[in-house]
Amino acid sequence: MKAGDVEKASEVLKKCEHLSKGKNARLANEFMLSLYASMGKKNDVFRIWSKIKNNGKVYSSSYHSMISGLEKLDDIDSVEKIFAEWEENHVYFDIRVPNFLIAIYCRKSHLDKAESIIERLYQSGKRPNYRTWDHLALGYCSNDQMEKAVETLKKAILASVPQWKPLIRSWASCVNYLQSNGEAKREKEIKRLLEERGIFAKGYEKLENYIRNGKYGSEEFNETEEQLEETG
């Protein structure tokens, strides 16, 4: 695949299918879903998905792999159908599945759809978690809805768990927005919330100084941001 020989990779992958048996079959099939999707082999993706469903109980990890594969194929209609299937059939609730769909909607700028998923979570008695709000905050930032982004980032921080860090891009965009509008009080509030949860890292402080000195989006800012994302 890395060499660009998709057909040869596909031949080898079909051989692998005959080896996926027993207790490791599910994990193998989920991995093959991802590989076939990377090759653009949509028919094979659905063929493996049928195989997974025919083997009995379908785990959340399989739904996650299928949704991820369909996103690679840019088939959002099928993503929504698979998610609806998960909503109807799941035995144990796994917030990672709706969170993944929310992240996809945010990347596609379908913020109304992302918001509707969150509303459905509440209606079903489930609660969004810090990752839910983090994905939505980044979606708002990417679509220049900064007031919503700031308030959603706060929700992510308040719902956070130890060792979590907010997405650097959304955090930096919110801080830049507040500093640019002279809203020091709200900026300090975000920093305080992060510090109270022990997640205001030194790297964040460095980025904060860049923003304060008018270097948001500069080459050195972007390099530092990339380094934090790689280590975070």
pLDDT beyond 70 at 7: yes
pLDDT beyond 80 at 94: yes
pLDDT, tens only, 172-228: 999 999 999 999 999 999 988 888 887 766 667 888 888 888 888 888 888 888 877
Can you give the residue ranges of every domain in the chain? Answer: 1-93, 95-232
pLDDT, tens only, 24-52: 888 999 999 999 999 999 999 999 999 99
For residue 137, count CB atoms less than 10 angstroms from its CB and return exposed for 0-12, middle for 13-18, buried for 19 or more: buried
Tell me, what amino acid is at 129?
Answer: N
- What pLDDT sits at residue 232? 55
Please state, as a whole number, how many other Cβ atoms lie within 10 Å of the Cβ of residue 204: 22
Domain at 95-232: CATH code: 1.25.40
Mean predicted lDDT score pLDDT of the chain: 90
- The set of residues, in sequence order, having a beta carbon less than 8 Å from that of 24 and lying 6+ positions away, is none
pLDDT beyond 90 at 77: yes
Q: How confident is the model at residue 16 (pLDDT cuts 50, 70, 90)?
A: confident
C-alpha to C-alpha distances, 211 to 24, 60, 116, 134, 169, nearest whole angstrom? 49, 40, 33, 21, 12
pTM: 0.87
From the list 28, 109, 105, the residue with the least C-alpha distance to 118 is 105
From the list 200, 196, 141, the residue with the least C-alpha distance to 174 is 141
- What pLDDT sits at residue 98? 96
Kindly state the tokens that stand for 125: 């008695």
